[in-house]
Structure 1
Amino acid sequence: MLLNIFRINVRNVLKMSSIERIKQNADLAKQTIQELKNELNFLNKEYNNILARELREENARLLAAVEEAKAHLVKLEVKNGIPQIPVPNQTSRPVTTTAVGSSEPPKEEPPKAQKEPKPKKDKKPKEASLEPPVDIGRLDLRIAKVEDVQKHPDADSLYVLKINCGEDKPRTVCSGLVKHVPIEELRDRTVMLLCNLKPVKMRGITSEAMVMCASSDQGVEVLTPPSGCTPGEPVHCEGYTRQPDPVMNPKKKIFETVAPDLLTDATLRACYKGVPLTVPHKGAIVAKSLANVPVK
């Protein structure tokens, strides 16, 4: 019995000592591997340093060889009379040469005279634009005669008129007078026409002017020029110079600025700021019955 126990203990001791030896060997192997890694890193660094030093030395030798070759080339060119051109930003002074066999020293070229800067011309100030004031004088108001009236084919509220305003051919005018003025009252009628609005298309037909009317909630009346007027006669307003634009620029809103001051007065005369619109030596432009209402 005691012999068996002794044998078991011996086997256990042997097993434990074997495990300990394995562990020790594993630790030793790890340590050895780490030392080998460190040694390899050191060798790599040393190799790189040696390689870099050799490359620097080789570059220095090559640069020296290049400079020697350049110097030799320059000597050969000088010997054969080839002039040397200075290189920009070159620190050393360029070599100047003379022709082969010449005993005279090279002549220095005189410095080129610098051109004096030309005096700047004074810019002339731009002349201020002489645009006339925005008033009734900018509107091209003329006497005109309606030669033909038709209903607009695509707009129930519009007439299409052919109006003679003293030009080579009559102008086409679209006017929204259908609900206010019977067609018979417009035929062969003399009117006051605003002729320098920008032409616009109204339901497919280009309108080239505007028939001036007295307008209010009570109704709309076409203004009537004095008797004896002929198509093309200009309409004036005393105190304002008549200098109409060929075509009023919509962006400048000339008509929109003037329109609030266009009104009929208590005696039915069409006025601008209280001054009647007239045909010189013939009379004023008047409404039929609408007093103190806008003209448009």
Structure 2
Amino acid sequence: SISLAAAVMKLDPEDGEQILDYFKTQALLTREKALLQASVREQKKLLVENAKLKTDIEQLKFQLQEKQRRPKALHLSKTVSPVSTTPVNQPAAPAGATAAPTPLSTAPAPQERREKQGRRRRGDRKGEKRYSTTVSLSLPYHTACQIIDALSLEPAPRVDASRLDLRVGRILSARRHPLSESMSIQEVDVGENAPRTVVSKLGTKIQLEELQGSLAVLLCNLKACKLKGVVSQGRILCCASSDDCLELLAPPTGSAPGDRVTFLNYPGEPDRELPSKQRIWERLHADLQVDNKGVANYKGCGFEVKGKGLCRAPSLTNCTIR
């Protein structure tokens, strides 16, 4: 039988590896979520058990205090010697007659009674010690509460466009991918010591000759990945209309390679590398749009190069950014 990986690669040879990575990531996230939920359930179970044990200990303490508060007279009445069972008005036995045997008392002797009471008291102390040992092995109530609060109130990491490392880049060269007709390879200068290699599908919609020397907006903190044997170190942002028309997102006039693209309403430093498990780019992608004035924005906040202006689509409006 054909495996899932082989089936995916057969259906989509180009993006099969990314699809499989997505499936693996989702499986890991589901497993981590299940483990976290199981941990929370276990903590709640310990809280219930601790509360029950605490109630039992209080009851045992109350019973012990009641025994200690009993009147001394009652205690003395239990330890006094038994009264003779011979009737007071019984006539004396005649001389020479054999005296009738004195019936044995059915009440326990004082010494035996004291031993039984001692055993009961020792049993109470053992029971109390056993409960206290069980409680000490469990988590304290306030500690368990703090753990549950920390699990439930832990702040979620921010997910907004400030986590994207967007920079202005100049495309130095563009050529066809040797293993795929639908892909092209660009060398992009983003103000670093060496240009970055980017693998894209721009060659199917834009003439490669037109790309050389153009300014573009590059997403620089995606994890580097191999596409058809070539390592891609970024993503060139483009504007795409509903009729599949494609344009490079254009930085403002006067921009230079390496200039940061920021968002006024979303300050903060970008991630050094976007964590692949959180899929930040995929979650933000739906909110990246070009408005009716041709300005690129995230949730209404424009792509801005400080001191130089906004990034725009050359001719498209009301379209998506990808």
TM range (shorter): 0.5 to 0.7
Match of 1:163 in 2: 188
How far apart in 2 are the matches of 1:256 and 1:141? 15
Offset, 1:152? 0.7
Structure 1 residues 168 and 294, CA gap change in structure 2 (3 angstroms): same
Number of corresponding residues = 178
Match of 1:284 in 2: 310
1:220 aligns with 2:246: yes
Match of 2:176 in 1: 151
Pick the structure with greater CA Rg.
Answer: 1
Identical residues among aligned pairs (%)? 35
- Helix, strand or coil at the partner of 2:204: coil
CA contact (8 A) 2:302 2:310 kept: yes
Offset, 1:132? 4.5
Offset, 1:217? 2.9
Structure 1 residues 178 and 241, CA gap change in structure 2 (3 angstroms): same
Runs of 4+ in 1 over 3 A off after TM superposition: 122-132
How far apart in 1 are the matches of 2:163 and 2:307? 22
**What amino acid does structure 2 have at the position aligned with 1:274?**
G
Matches within 5 A, 1:88-167: 132-167=157-192
Match of 1:178 in 2: 203
Structure 1 residues 264 and 147, CA gap change in structure 2 (3 angstroms): same
**What amino acid does structure 1 have at the position aligned with 2:195?**
P
Match of 1:257 in 2: 283
Question: Which runs of 5 or more residues in structure 2 are unaligned?
Answer: 1-141
CA contact (8 A) 1:259 1:295 kept: yes
TM-score (norm 1): 0.56
Match of 1:197 in 2: 222
How far apart in 2 are the matches of 1:145 and 1:244? 21
Q: CA RMSD in A?
A: 2.2
- Helix, strand or coil at the partner of 2:174: strand
CA contact (8 A) 1:236 1:242 kept: no
Structure 1 residues 131 and 190, CA gap change in structure 2 (3 angstroms): farther
TM-score (norm 2): 0.52
Match of 1:206 in 2: 231
How far apart in 1 are the matches of 2:207 and 2:268? 33
1:239 aligns with 2:265: yes
Counterpart among 269, 274, 280 of residue 248 in structure 1: 274
- Helix, strand or coil at the partner of 2:321: coil
CA deviation profile, 1:16-67 (whole Å, cap 9, x unmatched): xxxxxxxxxxxxxxxxxxxxxxxxxxxxxxxxxxxxxxxxxxxxxxxxxxxx
Structure 1 residues 170 and 240, CA gap change in structure 2 (3 angstroms): same
Counterpart among 266, 272, 288 of residue 292 in structure 2: 266
Question: Which runs of 5 or more residues in structure 1 are unaligned?
Answer: 1-121
How far apart in 1 are the matches of 2:206 and 2:242? 15
CA contact (8 A) 1:227 1:282 kept: yes
Match of 2:56 in 1: none
CA deviation profile, 1:106-165 (whole Å, cap 9, x unmatched): xxxxxxxxxxxxxxxx98988987775100001111111111111111111111111111
**What amino acid does structure 2 have at the position aligned with 1:271?**
N
